[in-house]
């Protein structure tokens, strides 16, 4: 679909623009890049953003920092109300790579204001505060590797599409045409994780979509394949650093 993009900021001087946009569930914004740094935040709905060799999960209460000239694609999970700020390359990038940041109340209000404000002087003042918030924001471990190997990518995609799938490693090896030992080696080389670690991380990240949609912790735990809610809470806290309720309280 066409990319809903405002006029980009002037690249030769400190400048920024804001954008408010809405996307239906399932919308795919095709791969593209901007000549400006970007901070994108969904005030409702969740996004999955594909950048280079990683897929980033962006629930409400979090934002994705994308440096200028970085190609990315966005998949909208549910109806997404998006607020975006584009910052000129004249600003020093507070982070060199793509990452997810916890959105403070102040950052959220700035992003909402920039989407409706057209006052150059005020925008420049807000830019300084926004950059400080981005620089100091809490970084979130909300991404999965995108395997280059097509068979490992197939495994990863299936785990995302059906996180409750209990297919054991030997069955996956047979299905993908590997010996069990070779599959273990390829998963490690492609993702940096064991099969168990990859499946657990995938389940926790997919759970973010469902928690953000208002499902209960208990329902989500079973839906993404954990045997008990307590096992889900333990895995979530181990990976995210908070319990599901604590994480969602920041939305």
> What integer pLDDT is reported at residue 248 of this predicted model?
84
> What integer pLDDT is reported at residue 2 of this predicted model?
43
What is the rounded CA–CA span in Å between residue 151 and residue 186? 9
> What integer pLDDT is reported at residue 238 of this predicted model?
95
> What integer pLDDT is reported at residue 1 of this predicted model?
42
> What integer pLDDT is reported at residue 251 of this predicted model?
61
Could you tell me the two tokens for 103? 């959105």
3-state secondary structure string across 17-86: EEEEEEECCCCEEEEECCCCEEEEEEEEEEEEEEECCEEEEECCCEEEEECCCCCEEEEEEEEEEEEEEE
> What integer pLDDT is reported at residue 4 of this predicted model?
56
Full set of structural domains in the chain with CATH: 16-140 (2.60.120.280), 147-249 (1.10.10.60)
Q: Which of 196, 235, 189, 203 is nearest to 53 (CA)?
A: 189
Tens-digit pLDDT string for the chain (251 aa): 445 556 788 889 999 999 999 999 999 999 999 999 999 999 888 999 999 899 999 998 899 999 999 999 999 998 999 999 999 999 999 999 999 999 999 999 999 999 887 777 788 889 999 999 999 988 888 999 999 999 999 999 999 999 999 999 999 999 999 999 999 999 999 999 999 999 999 999 999 999 988 899 999 999 999 999 999 999 999 999 999 998 887 66
């Amino acid at each position: 679909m066409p990319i809903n993009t405002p006029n980009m900021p002037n690249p030769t001087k400190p400048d920024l623009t804001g954008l408010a946009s809405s996307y239906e569930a399932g919308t795919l914004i095709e791969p593209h890049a901007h000549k400006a740094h970007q901070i994108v935040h969904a005030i409702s709905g969740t996004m999955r953003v594909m950048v280079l060799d990683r897929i980033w999960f962006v629930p409400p209460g979090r934002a994705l920092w994308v440096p200028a000239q970085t190609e990315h694609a966005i998949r909208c999970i549910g109806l997404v109300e998006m607020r975006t700020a584009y910052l000129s390359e004249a600003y020093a990038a507070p982070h060199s790579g793509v990452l997810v940041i916890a959105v403070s109340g102040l950052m959220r209000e700035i992003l909402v204001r920039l989407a409706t404000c057209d006052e150059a002087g005020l925008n420049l003042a807000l830019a300084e505060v926004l950059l400080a918030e981005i620089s100091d924001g809490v970084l979130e471990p909300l991404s999965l590797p995108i395997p280059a190997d097509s068979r490992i990518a197939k495994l990863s995609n299936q785990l995302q599409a059906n996180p409750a799938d209990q297919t054991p490693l030997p069955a996956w090896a047979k299905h993908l045409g590997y010996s069990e030992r070779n599959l273990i080696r390829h998963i490690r080389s492609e993702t940096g994780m064991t099969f168990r670690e990859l499946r657990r991380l995938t389940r926790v990240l997919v759970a973010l979509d469902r928690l953000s949609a208002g499902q209960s912790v208990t329902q989500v735990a079973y839906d993404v394949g954990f045997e008990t809610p307590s096992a889900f809470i333990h895995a979530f806290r181990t990976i995210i650093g908070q319990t599901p309720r604590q994480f969602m309280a920041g939305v």
